[in-house]
Amino acid sequence: MYRQTFRGAIGAIGAIGALALVATVAGCSSGPSGDDSKTVVVASHDSWAMSKDVIKAFEKKSGYTVKVRPSGDAGELTNRLILTKDSPTADAVFGIDNTFATRAVDEGILADHEPSDLPASAKDFVLPDADAARQLTPVDYGDVCVNIDDTWFAQHRIAPPQTLDDLTKPAYKDLFVTPGATTSSPGLAFLIATIAEKGEAWPDYWRKLLANGAKITAGWSDAYEVDFTAGGGKGDRPIVLSYASSPPFTIPDGADKPTTSALLDTCWRQVEYAGVLKGAKNSKGAEAFVDFMVGKKFQAAIPDNMYMYPVNTAAGLPEIWAKWAKVSPDPAEMSPADIAAHRDEWLREWRDLTSR
């Protein structure tokens, strides 16, 4: 008898379940796919930001519709593209930087494409490797530098630090905060800056840094908005790892001068590239978009939207950038191939150094 009680119930629930399944499948097939040849899908890092007007200008000129897919930071973006290289979900990519460029090229995820009218000033940023140069087009760059809160140092009558070595001095104990190299792109850039500067001895430098009370946070916003004295959270650390372009954001209302500055002797230059994906459904559209990205209209909009510097110097900089966001005359140097060869090993060692 007890078993009989099931049958109807099963029928009823089964029917509901089947309906749900049908609804699900129907949902799948009706979802917009974006595969048609009039759409360009651009995989990008999470920091993508571009004004609608600029994108509309491209769409109007070329007849394509642009869809942007933010896919993690530069590292996650590159690794996702590698994992899906057999059937890519995008046509073009933007945001592979000089720390991941070699891996992307070695894994063969990109098709050859060089914009015909690459501005002369961009040629300095073209990757040294011949394959890489054919596949990745430089779009923008930025300096990751240690920033200091000038107001804090003036109030406390302490001479501000200037170099990486200064950060390990007792005068600056417990004053520095940086996002971690494993979870943040600027954090990785800083690790590479220290390795470029210190060579084999970099683990010693980091031990000293940690012994001097350097604080590590998961992300950039954590460091800048919680711990930094001049950030939104009014923290208690006046030295933070950020960008050369950060100081203009600290110009108080009504004033004309930022309260923070970047230490230009502590910088690593990050260059971001765009490329066409191998196996793209719309290669033509992807090529058109990459060409557009080095054009004047897009380049001029980069500082205000992505906080980076355009590779095309003719595009110009906003006035406050020209004045308060100077880039380093002499950033740390390391070849993309060296980075690709050692990055995992460095990150693993860094992780062991900083975690327990």
Partner 1 sequence: MNRIGPMRHRLGIATLAAIPLVVLAVFFVLPVWGMVSRGFTPDGHLDVGGVWDVLARPRTHRVLWFTLWSAGLGTLCAVLLGVPCAYVLHRLDFPGRGLLRALVVVPFVLPTVVVGVAFRQLLADSGPLGGWHLDGTAAAIIAALVFFNISVVIKTVGAFWEGIDPRREQAAAALGASPAQVFRTVTLPALLPGIVSAATVVFLFCSTAFGVVLTMGGLRYANVETEIYLLTTQELDLPAAAALSVLQLLVITALLLVSHLTRRDAAAVDRAASVGRRPRPRDLPLLAWTALVLVFVSAPLLTLVVRSLQVGDAWSLANYRALSGTGERSALLVPALQGLRNSLEIAALATSMALVLGGIVAFLVSRRPRRAALRRAVGVFDGAFMLPLGVSAVTLGFGFLVTLNHPPLDLRSSSVLVPIAQAMVALPLVVRTVAPVLRSIDDRQRQAAASLGAGPFRVLLAVDVPTAWRALLAATGFAFAVSLGEFGATSFLAREDNPTLPVVIYRLISHPGAENFGMAMAASVLLAATTTLVMLLVERLRIGSIGTF
With a CB cutoff of 8 Å and minimum separation 6, the contacts of 9 are: none
Minimum CB separation of residue 257 from partner 1 in Å reads: 17
By beta-carbon proximity to partner 1, the closer residue of 227 and 287 is 227
The distance of closest approach from Cβ of residue 135 to partner 1 in the complex, given in angstroms and rounded to an integer, is 19
Residue closer to partner 1, measured from CB, 122 or 321: 321
Distance CA 327, CA 341 (A): 27
- Closest distance between partner 1 and the C-beta of residue 44, in Å? 9
Closer of 63 and 232 to partner 1 (Cβ): 232
Please, what is the minimum distance in Å from the beta carbon of residue 201 to partner 1? 22
Q: Which is nearer to partner 1, 87 or 116 (CB)?
A: 87
The type of residue at 199 is: G
Structure-token match 């097939």, residue found: 29
Closer residue to partner 1, CB minimum distance, 126 or 298: 298
Long-range contacts, stretch 299-303, CB < 8 angstroms, 24+ apart: 299/119, 299/139, 299/140, 301/50, 301/51, 301/54, 302/139, 302/140, 303/245
Q: Which one-letter amino acid corresponds to residue 192?
A: I
Cβ proximity to partner 1: between 33 and 116 the closer is 33
Q: How far apart are CA 353 and CA 81, in angstroms?
A: 30
Task: Single out the residue of 320, 313, 314, 139 nearest to residue 246, CA to CA.
Answer: 320
CB of 150 to partner 1, least distance (A): 18
Nearest approach in angstroms of CB 126 to partner 1 is 25
The whole-angstrom separation of Cα 318 and Cα 308 is: 11
